[in-house]
Amino acid sequence: MPFKKTKHLVFSRYLSLLCLLLALLVASVFIAVSLGAVTIDIGDTYGVIFSKLGLPMASHNIAKPLEAIIWNMRVPRVLLGLIVGAGLSMSGSVMQSTVNNPIAEPYILGISAGATFGATLAIILGLKAVVGLGAFVGAILATVLVLIIASMQGRVTTSGLILSGTVVNALFIAFANFIISIGATADSVMTIKFWTMGSLTGTSWSDLMLPALVVGLAFLFFSTQYRVFNAMMMGDEAALTLGIP
């Protein structure tokens, strides 16, 4: 009986924390949309978004240019930022569980450096339309290289993954800096700079579908693997004993 009460209390606290974080997330969205080169009253932001969603309390007395700034420019950027943030937090959580290390994330494992290299190469070659594809291919290449290096001793270990990721991270950063130094123009350097800083400039509603689909499907898949992650966080030997390859 005490165990059930404790479990119920933990779940209630978790649910309360989740509701609080969701409320803060929604509030931060409206604040982020209101801030920018043109400061917009948060009441107008509420009015435009509620109006577009067909919700009550919507305001219809807002100037068309202001409405275009809010709905066509800022809201897609903020939503893409939310999707990207969700994807990064999910990937970091998965990697920390997989290698059983609280500092593991795409940068330490070299994956982000591979993506930077792929995007930089695409920009230098003038293929700005496929920068995202270049980053994806670079990330996959870095991942494969990390796994190859980590498995050279016959068995992949958590420490081997992190050490391999550190090597691959330095390697791809060096490659990216090298091609920038020999082939970049002033325009491409600025493009690379804004890309690596995570600029959301130019985001439109049509840009949200693919990342939302990828992050959503990945979330659904990894949510079904929680038993595997729990076993892996107990260490390599315990995970192997429990049947986790």
89 burial class (0-12, 13-18, 19+ CB within 10 angstroms)? Answer: exposed
The pLDDT value recorded for residue 4 is: 62
The residue assigned the tokens 């959503």 is 216
Which alpha helices (H) appear in 151-208, and where do they start and end? 158-183, 186-196
Helices and strands: H and E segment counts in the chain: 11, 0
Query: Does the pTM exceed 0.85?
Result: no
Distance CA 80, CA 205 (A): 9
The DSSP secondary-structure symbol of 184 reads: -
Token pair of 171 as six digits: 């390697």
Distance CA 170, CA 189 (A): 20
Q: Which residues of 122-131 are buried (b: 16+ CB within 10 A; e: fewer)?
A: bbbeeeeeeb
The pLDDT value recorded for residue 218 is: 94
The pLDDT value recorded for residue 59 is: 64
* Sequence ranges of the domains in the chain: 1-73
The pLDDT value recorded for residue 195 is: 85
Distance CA 38, CA 199 (A): 18
Q: Please give, one letter per residue, the 3-state secondary structure of 223-235.
A: HCCHHHHHHHCCC
Distance CA 97, CA 235 (A): 10
Token pair of 228 as six digits: 């595997």
The one-digit pLDDT tens for each residue of the chain (245 residues) are 555 667 677 788 888 999 999 999 999 988 888 888 777 888 888 888 888 777 776 666 777 888 888 888 889 999 999 999 999 889 888 888 887 778 778 888 889 999 999 999 999 988 877 888 999 999 999 999 998 998 887 777 777 888 888 899 999 999 999 998 888 788 888 888 888 888 888 888 888 999 999 999 999 999 998 888 888 888 777 888 888 87
Beta-carbon count within 10 A of 112 CB:
23
